[in-house]
A and B are shown apart, each in its own frame.
Chain A
C-alpha cells in the first residue's frame, strides 16, 4: 500500500539540494607563516563565532620563535597541555643545531607528553584536534606537532534517569555545561559543530550555548532560535527549563514545541538531523528545538535495537498512546451509548457488577481516574523508600477495597489500570502529561455524545495538531504535510535506508550517505 502510494505521489519529492558552502576540510599543506596557518584553523572552526577552538600563543624563549597551541574545548585536557606541552617549551634550553630541525627536536626531546607526531597538512591536523589532541604550530615551520592530550570530561557522569535504555550508552548530562559540551563532542566529532555562547538574564547573567552543525542546520532556523533567546528579557533565568518556556511560541498550548533530553547520544542524533541544541549551566538536560511529534514518540533505543525489535517497541508505544488517550472515553461511550459492541457475556457481567454501584459511570470513572492521578503525584513526592509502598498500597488495597465497597465496578479498575500503564509507556514527559490532560476532554466528549463526541474531538485535535508549528516546522512533518524523508516515522526503516535527512527541517545538506551504500560524501 505504502509503496503504491509512494509511486502515486512521487512527483513532489524533488532532488534534495546538496550541501552548503562548507565542505570537508581541504587537504592542504601548511604554510611557513604562523599567522596564516592560525587563520585557516580559525576559519574552519568559525572562530570567534564558535567558542570551541581555544588558542594559546607563546614565544619559545630559547629559539625566539612565536608558536601557537590550539585545542578544542571539551575534548582536550587543558591541565595536561599546560603541564606537559607549554611548560617544557618555556623551560627548554636549546642547543645550537636544534634550530635546523626544530620540529623533530621539539617532538623528540622537549615535549614530555607521551603521544606526539608530526602532521603535514590541515586535514590531518583538524582530525587530530577533534579527537582531543592539541596542535602546536611554530612560526617558520610548515609542519605541526599534534600531541595527544585527549581528555574528554567524563568525571562523575551519571546514568540517565528518565530516558533509560537496556541497550546503548548509559551516560547522561550533568549540571555542568562544560561536561555536557564534552559529552556532545564525544558523540559528534565534526569541526563544523558550532557552539555559540549567548548571555541571558539582565541582573544575573548566565551563559547559554547554542549548538548546531553549520553544514546541516538551516541558518534561518539558527537565527530564529538566537533571536528568541535574545528576546528573553528577564532579570534572571536560572535553568534551561525556564528558558524552554520563554522560547515556546504557544505557552498556553498543551502541545510542546521544544523538548529536553538527558542523553548526549540523542542530542547528537538531533544535531545530525539539523536541529539546534541548547545547553546551560545548572541544567542536566539539553534543550532541542524545533521538534515534531516524532521526536516525542521515538526513543533512543529504537535505533539501537535491531530493526524488528525496535519497531515492535514502537508499535507497542503507538498502542499505549491510543490507550492512554482514548481508553476511558471508549469505555464510557461503549457502556453508556453502544452496549451492542460488548460481547453479551461481558455485557451481562458488567451490568451485574454495576447494579450495586450507586454512581453513574462517568462519576465512577472520574473518581478512579482522579485517584490514580493523585497516586502518581504522591509517588513522585514521597521519599524514595516509601515510594514503592505507596504504589502497592494505592494500587492493590485501594482498588480492591473500592470494588468491595461497591464504589466502582471491577472492570473499570482494569480499564483505568491499563490506561495508567499506557501513559507510563509514553517516552516523553511532555507527551505523557499532554495525553493525560486531553484524556479528560475525551471522557467528557464521550459522556456527551458517545463515539460521535470522541470522533469530533479527535478530528478537531488532529486539525489543531497538524496546523501548529515549532520554529516553522509543522508538528507532524514530514508525514503530514508530506515531505521527502527517510520515513523514520511511526516505524523506522533499516539504517542503510535512512540516507535522507527529513526535508521538513530544511537541512542544508539533506543526504546522509549515498542511497545504496557506496562512497560517503
Chain B
C-alpha cells in the first residue's frame, strides 16, 4: 500500500523541481554568457557542461546508494569529512545557493523592468516575486513538487510551440562556423559554466526526501539532461533567428524570441502570454531555492524548524538583490559566482568518493 502523505516526493515531482530549477535559465541572462564565450557554438556548451557534471553526479549517486534510504548529501558530508569540515562545506553550499537566489532574483526583476514594465519600481517586482516564492516554499517541499509537476508539462509544451512559432524565420546556416570560438574555447567554456547545472549536485541535500533511491536516481539523470537539451535547443534557436553577431547584443534573447513568435497568422503578439508562464516558472524556481537555502541554514545553525527561516531569508534576498546598481553589475557578479562554484561542485563529489574509498581501505 502506498503511503499518500508521508512528506516525501516521487520521481515525477522531483524531476519537475529539477526542471524548474534549471530549465528556466534559458530565459535569463545565461544565454548571453554562453553566447559571449561560445559564439555560434554556444549550443554545445550546455551539453558539455551536463556531460562533465554527469561524472560527479554518478559518484554521488553511488555514495547515496550505499547508505540506507534516508542518506542525503549532508549526512555523507558529516560522516566522511567530519563535523567541522562538513559544516564548512555545508556553509559553502548554502552560500552558493543563497547568493544565486539573490543574484537571480535581481536578474529576473531586471528582465521585467527592462523588457515589460519600464515604469515599475524594481523593488515592487522583486518583493512580489519573492513573496510568491515565499508562500509556495512555506507550503513545503511536497507543495513545490506538486505545483511544479502541474506546470512543467505546460512549460514543455509551450517551449515546443514557441520554437514552432518562430520556425519559419529560422535559418540553420547561421549555426556555422560550427566550432564558434574554437573547439578548445567551447570545451573550456562548457566546463567553466558547468555550475549552471550544479543544482543537480546541490539537491543531494534533499535525497532523503525522495521516496526511493531509484526514484532519486532516475529523476536526477533525466533532470540533468532534459534541461541541458532544452538549453542547447534554445541557444541554437537564438543564433538561428538573430544571427551572429547580432545575438551577442540582445540582452534577453528569450524575451525577444517570444516577441517574434507567431501562432499562426492570428495571434502574432503573444509575449504577454509567455511572460505569465515564465513568471509562474520563476516563482517555483525561487521557491525551490528559498526552501533549499532555509533547509541548509537550519542544518547549519542547528535549528530544526527551518521553515521559520524562510521569511528572513526572502527578506534578505530582496534587500541584497537591490544593492547592485544595474543588471550589468549583477551579471558580472553572477559570472564570478558561476565560475568559482563550478570547480567546487565538480570536485565535491569526487572528494567524498575518494574519502569513502580511503575509509574502506582503512577498514580492511
B5: which A residues are within 8 A, CB to CB? 469, 472, 474
A454 within 8 A of B: yes
- Does B142 count as interface, using CB distance less than 8 angstroms? yes
Whether, in the assembled complex, A393 has its beta carbon less than 8 Å from a beta carbon of chain B, the answer is no
Q: Does A45 contact B (CB under 8 A)?
A: no
Interface string of A485-507 (1 = CB under 8 A from B): 00000000000000000011010
B143–A466 touching, CB < 8 Å: yes
Q: Tell me if B146 counts as interface (CB < 8 A to partner A).
A: yes
A481 and B143 CA atoms in complex are apart in Å by: 9
Q: Tell yes or no: B214 within 8 A of A by CB.
A: yes
Which residues of A are found within 8 Å of B93, using beta-carbon distances?
A: none
Asked if B52 lies at the interface with its beta carbon under 8 angstroms from chain A, I say no
Q: Are A11 and B214 in contact, CB atoms less than 8 angstroms apart?
A: yes
B114: CB under 8 A from chain A? no
- What bracket does the count of chain A residues touching chain B fall in? 35 or more
Q: Find the B residue at minimum CB distance from A10.
A: B11
Q: Is the CB of B215 within 8 A of A11?
A: yes
CA distance A429 to B258 in the complex (A): 38
Interface digits, A446-464 against B, CB 8 Å rule (1 contact, 0 not)?
0001111111101110111
In the assembled complex, the CB of B314 is this many whole angstroms from the nearest CB of chain A, namely 14
- Does B135 count as interface, using CB distance less than 8 angstroms? yes
Write the nearest CB–CB distance from B294 to chain A, whole angstroms: 16
Structural contact, A456 and B272, CB atoms closer than 8 A: no
Which of A98-106, A115-123, A128-136, A333-341 lies at the binding interface? Answer: A333-341
Task: Indicate whether B170 reaches chain A with its CB closer than 8 angstroms.
Answer: no
- In the complex, the answer to whether A8 meets B222 with C-beta atoms within 8 Å is yes
Produce 1/0 per residue, B122-161, CB < 8 A to A.
Answer: 0011001101100110011011111101110100110000
The answer to whether B276 touches A452 (Cβ under 8 A) is yes
B327: Cβ under 8 A from any A Cβ: no
Report yes or no: A334 in contact with B272, Cβ–Cβ below 8 A: yes
Are A460 and B135 in contact (CB-based, < 8 A)? yes
A476 to B146, CA, bound (A): 8
Is B284 part of the binding interface, using a Cβ–Cβ cutoff of 8 Å?
yes
B272 and A463 form a contact (CB under 8 A): no
The residues of A that contact B272 with a CB separation of less than 8 Å are: 333-334, 337-338, 340-341, 450-451
Shortest CB–CB separation between residue A470 and chain B, in angstroms?
A: 11
Inside 8 A of A340's CB, which chain B residues have their CB?
269, 271-272
Let me know if A9 and B12 touch, CB within 8 A: yes
Q: Is the Cβ of A341 less than 8 Å from the Cβ of B147?
A: no
A12 touches B144 (CB 8 A): no
B188 at the interface (CB under 8 A from A): no
B277 part of interface (Cβ distance < 8 Å): yes
Report how far A482 CA is from B152 CA in the complex, Å.
Answer: 13
Verify B128–A481 contact, CB threshold 8 A: no
Could you tell me if B284 and A459 are in contact, using CB atoms closer than 8 angstroms? yes
Q: Which residues of A contact B88 (CB under 8 A)?
A: none
Task: Determine whether the beta carbon of B117 is less than 8 Å from that of A452.
Answer: yes
Chain B residues lying within 8 Å of A472, measured Cβ to Cβ, are 4-5
Cβ–Cβ < 8 Å partners of A451 in chain B = 272-273, 275-276, 279
Residues of A near B262 (CB, < 8 A) are none
B140 CB contacts on chain A under 8 angstroms = 467
Output the least CB separation between B157 and chain A (Å).
7
B301 CB-CB contact with A under 8 Å: no
Shortest Cβ distance from residue A222 to the other chain B in the assembled complex, whole angstroms = 15
Q: Are B117 and A450 in contact (CB under 8 A)?
A: yes
CB distance from B202 to the nearest CB of A (A): 21
Chain A's closest residue to B134 (CB) is A460
Do B1 and A466 touch across chains, with their CB atoms under 8 A apart?
A: no
B124, B135, B147, B211: the one within 8 Å of A12 (CB): B211
**Most A CB atoms within 10 A — which of B151, B156, B283?**
B283
State whether the Cβ of B280 lies closer than 8 Å to any Cβ in chain A.
yes
Separation in Å of the B14 CB from the closest CB of chain A? 10
Could you tell me the distance in whole angstroms from the C-beta of B269 to the nearest C-beta in chain A?
5
* B156–chain A nearest beta-carbon distance, Å: 8
Is A477 in contact with chain B by the CB < 8 A criterion?
yes
- With both beta carbons as reference points, the residue of chain A lying nearest to B3 in the complex is identified as A506
Q: Per a CB cutoff under 8 Å, which of A12, A17, A456 touches B215? A: A12
Closest residue of chain A to B274, judged by CB?
A451
Known: A451-B276, A481-B13. A463 touches B142 (CB 8 A): no
A473 proximal to B (CB < 8 A): yes
Cβ contact within 8 Å between A463 and B279: no
Using Cβ atoms and an 8 Å threshold, which residues of chain B touch A396?
A: none
Asked if B328 is at the interface (CB within 8 A of a chain A CB), the reply is no
Query: A342 to chain B: closest CB distance in Å?
Result: 8
B9 contacts the other chain (CB 8 A): yes
Q: Which residues of B contact A (CB under 8 A)?
A: 1-2, 4-5, 9-13, 15, 112, 116-117, 120, 124-125, 128-129, 131-132, 135-136, 139-140, 142-147, 149-151, 153, 156-157, 211-212, 214-215, 218-219, 222, 267, 269-273, 275-280, 283-284, 287
Chosen A-B contacts, 30 in total, with CB atoms closer than 8 Å, are A1-B156, A5-B153, A9-B11, A9-B12, A11-B214, A12-B10, A12-B211, A340-B269, A341-B273, A449-B124, A452-B275, A454-B276, A455-B275, A455-B277, A455-B280, A456-B132, A456-B283, A458-B280, A459-B151, A462-B150, A464-B143, A466-B150, A469-B5, A476-B146, A480-B146, A481-B13, A481-B145, A481-B149, A482-B13, A503-B2
Report A's interface with B, CB cutoff 8 A.
Answer: 1, 5, 8-9, 11-12, 14, 17, 333-334, 337-338, 340-341, 449-456, 458-460, 462-464, 466-467, 469, 472-474, 476-477, 479-483, 503-504, 506
Sorted nearest first, the 9 A-B pairs with minimum C-beta distance are A466-B146, A467-B143, A455-B279, A459-B283, A338-B272, A463-B136, A455-B276, A480-B149, A451-B276
